[in-house]
Structure 1
Amino acid sequence: MTAAEYPQAGRGWAFPPRWRRPAEDPAGVPAAAMTGGAEHVAEALVVLLRTMLGSRVMRPGLGAGVDRYVFEPRTPDACHRLADDVRRALLLGEPRIVVDAVRAVPAGEADDRVDVAIEYRIDRHRRPTSLVVPFYLAGAS
């Protein structure tokens, strides 16, 4: 999906921030890499989910607070609470999307990881898409 398909999603710096040399610039002056459309929204979702609650001074409620689950055992209760916190963060922090479903499931063989599957649509076109973000529990690295 290109930025032209979702102009309402906006355009901004790529995440993580990186520099590129524009091909059209003969001097090769570095510029910040930019993203737009659905890619920009997906990167914003990852930033939102990785933000600790209270870390933004002007918006203390922004973020998912998933850092609380680092030392939690990988139980169905922890997965349910994690999915609920992610759903709340998306509903409050990302107005460009409609959240269809959020599921947190243990990641198969990995005994310290929970995959959070997010099904969402960018509001204007209502096209379904999804994102899987891995979170590591039980303090293993």
Structure 2
Amino acid sequence: MHIDFPFHVDSRRRTAQTTDADHVRDLIEQLIFTRPGERVNRPGFGSGLQQLVFAPNSPELAAAVQFLVQGALQQYLAEVIDVERVQVDAVDASLQVEITYVLRRTGELQVQRFESGA
């Protein structure tokens, strides 16, 4: 078991824990929504997605974000997951990111969706 993110206390008044699959989802969320330079001891950690929130939304922006996110996942989480696909769509005033990956530990296929903006 892992400590759940964001940190909170469960109904038993203990540190909340989570499963391996949910922990990996939490790691991905932290990675894609962290700005490079935001973490003191890991200045390169992050995808840069949040830096583009106020950029004009377009298919070109979605393609750039797709490469940023895929590169960050492969750099920082390659020991935990095998990235199958990263799909980024520009929808209205937001970017929708869908990540398909396989958990290395169990071989389980996962699909997670995240949204930035709006």
TM-score by length of 1: 0.77
Partner in structure 2 of residue 15 of structure 1: 5
Runs of 4+ in structure 1 deviating by more than 6 angstroms, as ranges, are none
Partner in structure 1 of residue 66 of structure 2: 83
Hey, what's the Cα distance between the residues in 2 that align with 1:49 and 1:102? 12
Identical columns (%): 27
For structure 2, the residue ranges without an aligned partner over 5 or more in a row are: none
Query: Structure 1, residues 79-103: CA drift from partner, whole Å, max 9, x if none?
Result: 0001111111111111200001101
TM-score by length of 2: 0.91
Q: Secondary structure at the match of 2:24?
A: helix
For structure 1, the residue ranges without an aligned partner over 5 or more in a row are: 1-10, 23-29
Q: Which amino acid aligns with 1:106?
A: A
Partner in structure 1 of residue 82 of structure 2: 98
Cα RMSD for the two superposed structures: 1.3
Partner in structure 2 of residue 4 of structure 1: none
Which structure's CA Rg is the greater one?
Answer: 1
- Tell me the matched-pair count: 117
Query: Structure 1, residues 37-76: CA drift from partner, whole Å, max 9, x if none?
Result: 1111111111111111011121111111112211111111
